[in-house]
């Protein structure tokens, strides 16, 4: 029978380690999952949360959750009030005030379950001052608290954090294997699987969600962006500004469904929840919306980078390496004979756009500047069609 651990795609050793830990009741109170972006650390954290909070306990020798109860469903949808996800609130990492709020929250009783699970992403961005505010809680957490920290590498995490956690390494998943996993889980062709992985910054789990979004919404979004990019060289300044605004609005559109679902869930539970619990859920919902907004904006810049990367392959005379094969003909028209160095510069500016978004710079401003940069590259190739 499948369980939540089966969703940790491409990480068989991690799956078996976590299952064995749950079955043998050797779960520690502080974990550090380390591995590259896209290695499914976040999925693993939520799978472990399901296994620990499922009211039916581990289902047989596999050690996972039942996956069928209301609690498992809420955790899988990332809506359970006792499973709390945090990402750095500051442009350069975690803020001391943010960490102090997390520490204070750990002393509060769970809202619905017997334990609380805290998932802290990018703890490699946890500086010394913020870490100092966190160490005692990490070393001596409340009995009903489990901390799951996520980082890129051991070396990037402060030794004081590293020494207080059970470290679980996640491997890099080769591109061909990643595409195969996405294809197996979605039924998509290999080319489409690679395109989805590119659009999702290398994340297999996000690529599966990208390809299985309701009404092909994310695929339609990608097609729209690629179509606009193909016409960008002929756009005037006002066209570019309008395009940037439309992209940002399109990135936010799917959030309406998320917001409606949150409001319905809160209304359903409001009668029996204390005011303090309602405030916690509202705060969690706000964080979830913010995370979704960031995710969709990152997909926007990732699609642009992927398209530019393909343009570089065309300019370098290696069109067989193009990933966005559905627009290969137009890529050849735009980039054959183009300056690969100029394209590389545009890719760097797309990466800078991601960083600017992390600094809470206006999305419209970031995307607007990026599109002007890309148009310059296209027109610099001597083409205006």
What's the pLDDT tens digit per position in 308-347?
A: 999 999 999 999 999 999 999 999 999 998 999 999 999 9
Cβ–Cβ under 8 Å, residues 34 and 42? no
Lowest mean pLDDT among 114-123, 251-260, 310-319, 365-374: 251-260
- DSSP class of residue 109 equals P
Read off the pLDDT of each residue in 283-298 and give the average, rounded to a whole number.
Answer: 75
For residue 329, what are the contacts with CB-CB under 8 A and spacing of at least 6? none
Instruction: Report how far residue 367's alpha carbon sits from residue 352's, in angstroms, rounded to the nearest whole number.
Output: 11
pLDDT on residue 252: 75
Backbone region of residue 60 per phi and psi (left: phi > 0; alpha: psi in -120 to 50; beta: other values) = left
- State the maximum Cα–Cα separation within the chain, in Å, rounded to a whole number: 66
To 10 degrees, the CA torsion angle through 30, 11, 207, 58?
-60
Q: How many Cα neighbours within 13 Å face the side chain of 360?
A: 7
What's the pLDDT tens digit per position in 255-279?
A: 666 666 666 766 766 665 566 666 7
Lowest mean pLDDT among 154-163, 182-191, 242-251, 270-279: 270-279
- DSSP class of residue 90 equals B
The string over 132-167, giving b where at least 16 C-beta atoms fall within 10 Å of a residue's C-beta and e elsewhere, is ebbeebbeebeebbbbbbbbbeeeebbeebbebbee
The CA–CA distances, whole Å, from 253 to 8, 218, 250, 318 equal 28, 11, 5, 37
pLDDT on residue 232: 95
Superfamily of the domain at 4-169: P-loop containing nucleotide triphosphate hydrolases (3.40.50.300)
pLDDT on residue 383: 42
**What share of the chain in percent tops pLDDT 70?**
86
Binned at pLDDT 50, 70 and 90, residue 89 comes out as: confident
Q: What are the beta bridge partners of residue 86?
A: 120
Instruction: Report how far residue 363's alpha carbon sits from residue 297's, in angstroms, rounded to the nearest whole number.
Output: 8
Can you tell me whether residue 273 is helix, strand or coil?
coil
Instruction: Report how far residue 371's alpha carbon sits from residue 363's, in angstroms, rounded to the nearest whole number.
Output: 12
Distance of CA 320 to the CA centre of its chain: 29
Cβ–Cβ under 8 Å, residues 266 and 235? no
Where along the chain do its domains lie? 4-169, 213-380
End-to-end, the C-alpha distance of the chain in Å comes to 55
Closest residue by Cα to residue 273 from 109, 75, 142, 117 = 109
């Amino acid at each position: 029978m499948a369980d939540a651990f089966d969703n940790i795609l491409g990480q068989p050793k991690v799956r078996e380690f976590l299952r064995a830990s749950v079955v043998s009741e050797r779960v520690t109170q502080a974990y550090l999952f380390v591995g590259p972006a896209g290695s499914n650390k976040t999925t693993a954290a939520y799978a472990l949360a399901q296994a620990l909070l499922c009211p039916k306990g581990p289902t047989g020798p596999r050690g996972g959750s039942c996956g069928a109860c209301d609690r498992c469903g809420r955790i899988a949808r990332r809506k359970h009030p006792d499973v709390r996800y945090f990402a750095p609130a500051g442009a350069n990492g975690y803020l001391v005030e943010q960490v102090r709020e997390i520490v204070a929250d750990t002393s509060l009783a769970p809202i619905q379950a017997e334990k609380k699970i805290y998932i802290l992403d990018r703890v490699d961005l946890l500086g010394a001052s913020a870490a100092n505010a966190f160490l005692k809680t990490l070393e001596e957490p409340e009995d009903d608290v489990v901390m799951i920290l996520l980082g890129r590498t051991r070396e990037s995490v402060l030794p004081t954090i590293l020494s207080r956690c059970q470290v679980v390494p996640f491997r890099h998943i080769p591109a061909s294997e990643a595409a195969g996993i996405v294809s197996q889980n979605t039924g998509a062709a290999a080319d489409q699987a690679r395109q989805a992985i590119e659009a999702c910054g290398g994340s297999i789990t996000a690529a599966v969600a990208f390809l299985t979004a309701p009404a092909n919404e994310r695929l339609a979004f990608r097609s729209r962006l690629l179509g606009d990019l193909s016409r960008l060289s002929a756009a005037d300044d006002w066209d570019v500004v309008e395009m940037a605004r439309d992209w940002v609005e399109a990135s936010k559109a799917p959030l309406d469904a998320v917001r409606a679902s949150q409001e319905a869930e809160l209304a359903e539970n409001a009668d029996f929840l204390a005011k303090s619990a309602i405030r916690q859920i509202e705060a969690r919902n706000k964080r979830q919306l913010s995370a979704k907004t960031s995710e969709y904006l990152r997909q926007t810049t990732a699609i642009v980078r992927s398209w530019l990367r393909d343009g570089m392959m065309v300019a370098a005379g290696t069109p067989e390496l193009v990933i966005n094969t559905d627009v290969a003909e137009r890529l050849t028209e735009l980039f054959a004979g183009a300056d690969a160095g100029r394209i590389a510069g545009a890719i760097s500016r797309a990466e800078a756009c991601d960083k600017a978004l992390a600094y809470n710079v206006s999305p419209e401003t970031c995307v607007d500047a990026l599109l002007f940069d890309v148009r310059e590259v296209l027109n610099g190739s001597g083409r205006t069609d």
